[in-house]
Amino acid sequence: MKPAMFLLAVPKVAQRSNLPVLSAARSPERTCAERARLWVEDECARIDLGAAGAIIGVLFSRSSGDRLTVLPAHAPRDRGPGELAAWLLHECWGAYAAILADPLSGALYMLVDPSGMLPAYRFETASHVLLTSHPALLQEAAGRRIKVSWPALHAQLCRPELRQRSTCLDGVTELAPGALVALAGEERAAARMWQPSAFMPQDRAMSFTQVAEELRGLAVGVIGAWSRCLGPVAVAASGGVDSSFICAALARSGASFSCITLATADPSGDERSFVRLLADHLGVRCFAALHDPGLIDPHRPASAGLARPSRRPFLASLDSALLAAADHLGASAVLDGNGGDNLFCYLHSAAPIVDRLRCEGPGGGTLTTLLDMCQVTGCDIPAMARAVLMRLMRRGHPDRWPADTRLLAPAPERCRVPDPLTPWLDSEVGRHGGKRDHLSLIMRAQNHLHGLGAAGLPRFSPLMCQPLLEFCLAVPTWLWCAGGINRAPARAAFARDLPREIAVRTSKAGPDSFIRRSFERNCPAIRAMLLDGLLAHHGLLDIAATEQALSVDALSGGSIIYRLLDLAEAEAWARSWQG
């Protein structure tokens, strides 16, 4: 699987003529012209809509699950961008950016599918508006280097889990998934064609069994469709719920796949026994390897080529190991379970209890959910009851994106108010207030998903695709913790396909020891990078606090180690853009 790469140049002053509104460019450097031009990488999927525009990326039919290479005859391609965008959102799904032309004015619009799996970035020159999947292509079209925006980088470091509309590159913004955006002229407010409020839980009762069965059918359809599109795949398996969910869906769809697992040298991050149990049960191959601290180079950003430093340095070594394993197994792409906790509503709060109380009243169902959440969180009944009362008495909405200012210099005033790429927390949720918590979780996953636009390793995160996203939003929060276990419907969906030891696991090991030992090994290099680097030079760091943090013990230093790694990745990323 190669990254889907495109570059579109739209002149700010339209030239009226009888020529097509969108023509092909031979290279990124030749996109800027008197008419709108589109360059698409040779192996990138594209659907030509003629005078109606083009769709870049992969599109599936909701009704059949088949991949579309042309739009069906009944698609409203001649009725304008609004109607065609609405049709795409209702009848299709995938990972795509649709360039849609107004048949009367010739104006161009873009729709990025709600999953955001093929992002689109916007940049203006004196004469053109540029749209691309890969920010580096902007430099080729504009003929000049794109610079780092230091205020935006500061804002990113304050809220690393929030994907904001502004990127960390000067003048480069990102188009919101699910919005229809006019491309030429001044940047205008987007029409939010897809909104979470349309998929909130309805009054009709949803049984747990019904939810699990519907989720199972959707997963088999969605993940099976991707496997047919991508070819033989491997799953980055951890033996946990989310990656096992993907494996079971692949097995049920009849797909050819294998498993890859990476372990730490000590037992704290070794999941090989669980992954081998999973692979043997499903009858697929399993490749296991150890994390190699020697592969980590803090000077090499894992976020290279991205518009933000949204990954951590150790992920570069993970990429290398997964790529080697995929080659060994003959896999064309690696699927991962990124975003599963978020999509499957893994909450640690009183929200499900309050939601059920408001919807059903203080009956036995609400008491059951209270006991369920006590079991999920390990909280006792009096403490959980107090949390319920506090939530009921709360006025307004809490700040879900508090700034993390550790090791940073004071933020510029304009960076203190976040500007989410997907402003979904203002959605109407009715009596289901916990759905804002769910939406917040989903928004937190957006920086960590691998889509068709990912640079480098052919990774893909299928769980956040539109049909699964819409379905999971419609499930009441209290069903996700039914029986006192997190992500309960996702577990039940494939319970009969997975080993019981996998289906009931509520925790698993992670690579913390590997990360900390890698930090210890590279601490001198990280110290030099941070104390004498670009972040320090541009006033983003609290130098004294950073120097003190660098002196903590790597193995027992708490979360500050991960904060230092975030800063090291940001420094390496900034250097990669500065040249």
Give the pLDDT of residue 306.
94
For the stretch 203-224, pLDDT in tens is 767 899 999 999 999 999 999 9
Which residues in the chain come in under a pLDDT of 50? none
Give the pLDDT of residue 456.
64
Buried b (16+ CB within 10 A) or exposed e, 213-247: ebbbebbbbbbbbbbebbeebbbbbbbbbbbbbbb
Q: Give CB contacts under 8 A, 24+ apart, made by 301-306.
A: 301/569, 301/572, 301/573, 301/575, 301/576, 302/569, 303/569, 303/573, 304/455, 304/456, 304/573, 304/576, 305/134, 305/135, 305/136, 305/455, 305/456, 305/576, 306/135, 306/455, 306/573
Give the pLDDT of residue 439.
98
Give the pLDDT of residue 18.
54
396 Cβ contact partners less than 8 Å away, ≥ 6 residues apart = none
Q: Does domain 6-194 have CATH number 3.60.20?
A: yes
Give the pLDDT of residue 513.
86
For the stretch 511-559, pLDDT in tens is 888 889 889 999 999 999 999 999 999 999 999 999 999 999 988 888 9
Give the pLDDT of residue 20.
64
Using CB atoms within 10 Å of the CB of residue 113, give its burial: 0 to 12 exposed, 13 to 18 middle, 19+ buried. buried
The CATH superfamily label for domain 196-579 reads: HUPs (3.40.50.620)
Report domain extents, the chain: 6-194, 196-579
Kindly tell me the sign of the dihedral angle through the C-alpha atoms of 433, 435, 438, 442.
Answer: negative
Give the pLDDT of residue 265.
83
| Tokens describing residue 217 | 């059918």
